[in-house]
Amino acid sequence: MKILLTKFTLLAKDKKAWLALIAGLVLTFAYAPFEIWPIAFFSLAAIIFCINPKNTGKKHAKTAAKYGFIFGLGWFGAGISWVHVSIATFGGMPLIASLALMALLCSYLALFPALAFWATTRFASGPKSYGALLIVSFAISEYLRAHLLTGFPWLSFGYTQTDSPLRLLAPYIGEFGLTLVCIAIGFALYRLSQKDFKTLAITSSALALLFAGAYTTGTAQYSGKSMSTLLVQGNIKQSLRFDPSQFWTTMSKYQDLTRTHWDADLIVWPEAAVPEIEALADSYLAGLDSAASFNKTALITGVVDYQLDTKTIFNTLIVVGNKNKEDEHGHYRYLDKNRYQKHQLLPIGEFVPFEDLLRPIAPLFDLPMSSFTRGDKVQNNLRANGFNILPAICYEIVFADLVRGNYQHSSDLLFTVSNDAWFGDSIGPHQHMQIARMRALELQRPLIRVTNNGVSGVYDPISHTQQSMPQFEATTMKADVKLIQGDSVYSQYGNMFVWGFVLLLGVGGFASRFKVGSIKN
């Protein structure tokens, strides 16, 4: 106990540790809803200053990992504080237990920047190779964060640039590439503070080349066509969403909100807007199908599909009404192939790892609808009233490769649904919308996002304009969406070119290390 107290006292007196923590904490203001994007660069410069690239090698790697971990605690502790809203409100756990669970989650996520700074410091030969290897290390650590234990790629640095001039590079290098650009700029700012103007000049020249390439190779443009869309936001209280006695009330509410707006080309409802399982809601869905078809439109809604024969349950999007504009009758049938089943499930919320052990512990691990089955990773676009709709349900929109994997040349728009009522009036829903907008920038397709209680809206990635509905209101919004044609570089090649650049940097960084080593010998 005395040893731990001594270590804590030393840490409390460590000014660089405090700076690392503050650098992580202020990163929250670079993301939505604050969107002060330059903070990301200065925050990264600050943590690099704490670690000091002049101190490299095995001897200093442990210290770098320590500061990287503290930085990560601030970064995720403030940035994903909205998770605690869900745990505290719906988890049914004592405050001390919910805080401990949050501390465990943030500590796990902080391991990844700690790993990046440890590896960079361990293998760099000095400040010159440090920048290159820092980009390589973060590329690897962020990839691991996005994939290990199903992945949690929330709050990547690239999202801070959704509203900055750097967003113009998203169709070419994606959010992952923008994350590495942020790290490069942060390192250049640190080197500038050390009166090294060469690094800043190299970084600026590289960015200029990227922008020049983007300007000369742009392919996505307006097609000259548009579609009218109706977004319906029910604002159903989370405590009532899966109460069987409220199912009909919820479904009637969505029907009533839609009743006077059947003139839109496409009508969209949120995730599980129809809370009754699909097989038992057949008469209700048949009625919607007839109404939509009669008005020569289509409606997409979320619904829970519990298949009685196989005992599997899917978080599903279905289309009722016209599949094509020339249809004279609706085409909805239970288990019709024109549907989308969620693939990337939310841990705890939609599936529970080690469920036999965890479910008895607390209500948090035994939430309603927490036993979903994965849909296929690659699925067809939804077909609705002649349009091809690229779907993603809730948490899936965070996984760029998954969304891109379902993109097709014929995709007319990106459509995502969610229920962010779990997170109350926190920053979480705003970050979620920002992430969705980044996917639209990458794929150069207009975005329609509809949720139970916000943030719902429409986003145009070319004009960078957004129409949003007020949060926490039961309301509708009509929007005319300009369609876009042409494929972005990112939609066709993903992160292939970015990883190629990372490989070159890795070779260059290690070559520099070996060169220094041979000179010393």
Catalytic residue positions? Answer: 271, 342, 394
Instruction: In whole angstroms, give the CA distance from residue 72 to residue 108.
Output: 9
> Which residue, among 375, 404, 226, 352, has the nearest Cα to 302 in the 3D structure?
375
Q: Which residues contact 231 (CB under 8 A, 6 or more apart)?
A: 268, 448, 450, 456, 457, 458, 469, 476, 477, 478, 479
Closest to 284 in 3D by CA, of 325, 310, 313, 253:
253
Mapped onto helix, strand or coil, the DSSP state of residue 448 is strand
User: Per the structure block, which two tokens stand in for 293?
Assistant: 């078809």
User: CA 450 to CA 489: how far, in whole Å?
Assistant: 27
In angstroms, the Cα distances linking 344 to 272, 314, 349, 377, 430 are: 16, 11, 12, 8, 20
The residues that bridge with 449 in the sheet, in sequence order, are 416, 457
Q: DSSP class of residue 470?
A: P
Angle at 505 between CA 499 and CA 511, to 5 degrees: 140
Is the sign of the CA dihedral 489, 491, 495, 496 positive or negative?
A: negative
Angstrom distance (rounded) from CA 440 to CA 195: 39
Rounded-to-integer distance, Cα 234 and Cα 450, Å: 10
Q: What φ, ψ does residue 227 adopt, rounded to 5°?
A: -140, 145
